[in-house]
Structure 1
Amino acid sequence: MFRHLVGLLFLLLPTSALAGECVVLLHGLARTDVSLAVMEHVLEREGYHVVSNDYPSTDLPIEPLLAYVGNAVAECDGERFHFVTHSMGGILVRGWLRDRHPKELGRTVMLAPPNHGSEVTDDYGDLAIYEYLNGPAGMQLGTDADSMPNRLPKADFELGIIAGDRTVNPILSTSFNGPNDGKVSVKSTRLDGMTDHLVVHATHTFIMNNPVVIAQTLTFLREGRFDHDMTLTEAITAIFPQ
């Protein structure tokens, strides 16, 4: 229902053609493709061929999940392709690109990625309820040196990262000593080799629906950088052009 309502809204908006380019969307841990529905429809309105599929984020460890990245890329049918990811989706991209660098690869935007793990996993990973909710992949997202994010290489591709610094969860926020989005610290989102980094006032859960985040994602996909002076009014205008 939500996806259809969003689609109807954006059908009323003008489009700008961008033929021959694809965007692969990868949702986060314990989420579905619906969480990226707004982003998907904005990108489609901009003319991108968008691939947004579910993957069983809580059923498998990270390594087997990498196959779902390759399956999604295959749906781009040889077009130049970009990635836009939320949370653990960024770790899947890093894992998939570890052993390959396709010539069709364009740019990547990661939203709230735990590039060095999450202190929440450190503090609560021993609880049975944590593993039940987050599965084996969630257990791999700690901050120790042997965690999956910390064993992956630095970025050797065009990468823009957007971090949030707002939280509505006072319990989980006690796991952090600095700015965080309730699940991931701003510091952990950074990655050596990244092209650009931006911090916005958004929470981990809803960062992908923030107007500034959506507009900045479009900017990075087009220009390979963020507009660090963008205002909320400018972002809304970019998403809802007259």
Structure 2
Amino acid sequence: MAAARRALLLHGLWMPPLAMRRFAARLRTAGFTTGIIGYRSIFGSTDAAVDALRARLRGGEPTHLVGHSLGGLMALQALQAEPALPVARVVCLGTPLCGSGAARVLSRRALTALYLGRSAALLRQGCVALPEGVEVGMVAGSRPRGLGALVARFDEPHDGTVAVAETRLPGLADHVVIDASHSGLLVSAEAARLAIGFLRDGRFAR
């Protein structure tokens, strides 16, 4: 499946599918066919969204997945639930694999917990373990611009929403940190270049 030329993209919390269009366009320029998965990140069930992704992948052609933030967690949840899905590689963009400190802080109060909606539990928990047999790469950001920093009060490198340490999980095929904010990862030409290299080779081209 490493030769897959198809990629499905998943947006993050509070994002519409439109947010992934520029990234998808860069993948298409590199020769990939793309699709964007939309889901209701606040009022919808994460389980329902994961099930919909599994149904779309099941029985299809070999496919790569690219997920921004929460979207990366959804992709990995789908693969944990159904390891036989035809997925070759996964690129996560600023995904809090180890759980989000900002999400944990917001969940402490009923009013601020509304910001996370029904995605709160998954964001707090992160990814317990990476799926076997699938290469997963992480592009993390280190530009500290974002409202999440006001909530979590990071004392370590972060992208304004997610700490770099929260993106590291044992078993990753590769991990790279670039100068981009959390939302900036979506429009970063460098992030797209790195993702394209990983989808092709299973490693980030430094």
Q: TM-score, structure 2 length as denominator?
A: 0.88
Shift of the 206–138 alpha-carbon distance from structure 1 to 2, 3 Å rule, reads: farther
Deviations 1:131-156 (A, max 9, x none): 333212134422xxxx2x25x32342
The 5 Å alignment of 1:140-179 reads 140-142=122-124, 147=125, 149-150=126-127, 152-156=128-132, 157-169=134-146, 171-172=149-150, 174-179=152-157
Question: What amino acid is the match of 1:209?
Answer: V
How far the C-alpha of 1:178 sits from its partner, in A, is: 0.8
Match of 2:29 in 1: 45
1: distance between equivalents of 2:77 and 2:122? 13
The 5 Å alignment of 1:89-104 reads 89-102=71-84, 104=86
What is the SS of the residue equivalent to 1:52? strand
Shift of the 135–193 alpha-carbon distance from structure 1 to 2, 3 Å rule, reads: same
- For structure 1, list consecutive stretches of 5 or more residues without a partner in the other structure: 1-18, 229-242
1:192 pairs with 170, 174, 186, which one? 170
Match of 1:125 in 2: 107
Shift of the 182–173 alpha-carbon distance from structure 1 to 2, 3 Å rule, reads: farther
Shift of the 96–22 alpha-carbon distance from structure 1 to 2, 3 Å rule, reads: same
Match of 1:136 in 2: 118
Shift of the 53–155 alpha-carbon distance from structure 1 to 2, 3 Å rule, reads: closer
1: distance between equivalents of 2:4 and 2:168? 30
Deviation beyond 3 Å, 4+ runs, structure 1 = none
Question: What amino acid is the match of 2:189?
Answer: P
Deviations 1:28-53 (A, max 9, x none): 01111111111111222233221102
How far the C-alpha of 1:68 sits from its partner, in A, is: 2.6
Do the aligned residues in 1 keep the contact of 2:57 with 2:86 (CA within 8 Å)? no
Question: What amino acid is the match of 2:86?
Answer: E
2: distance between equivalents of 1:103 and 1:89? 17
> Do residues 114 (structure 1) and 96 (structure 2) align?
yes
Question: What amino acid is the match of 2:130?
Answer: K
Deviations 1:180-229 (A, max 9, x none): 1111110110121110000001101121211110110111111110012x
Match of 2:160 in 1: 182
Do the aligned residues in 2 keep the contact of 1:86 with 1:111 (CA within 8 Å)? yes
Shift of the 101–212 alpha-carbon distance from structure 1 to 2, 3 Å rule, reads: same
How far the C-alpha of 1:108 sits from its partner, in A, is: 0.8
Point out which structure has higher relative CO (alpha carbons under 8 A, 6+ apart).
2
How far the C-alpha of 1:169 sits from its partner, in A, is: 3.3
1: distance between equivalents of 2:85 and 2:49? 22
- For structure 2, list consecutive stretches of 5 or more residues without a partner in the other structure: none
How far the C-alpha of 1:63 sits from its partner, in A, is: 2.2
2: distance between equivalents of 1:72 and 1:49? 15
Deviations 1:115-168 (A, max 9, x none): 0111112222233443333212134422xxxx2x25x32342101101001122
TM-align CA RMSD: 2.1
Question: What amino acid is the match of 1:159?
Answer: V
1: distance between equivalents of 2:163 and 2:88? 27
Shift of the 72–31 alpha-carbon distance from structure 1 to 2, 3 Å rule, reads: farther
Larger Rg: 1
Q: TM-score, structure 1 length as denominator?
A: 0.76
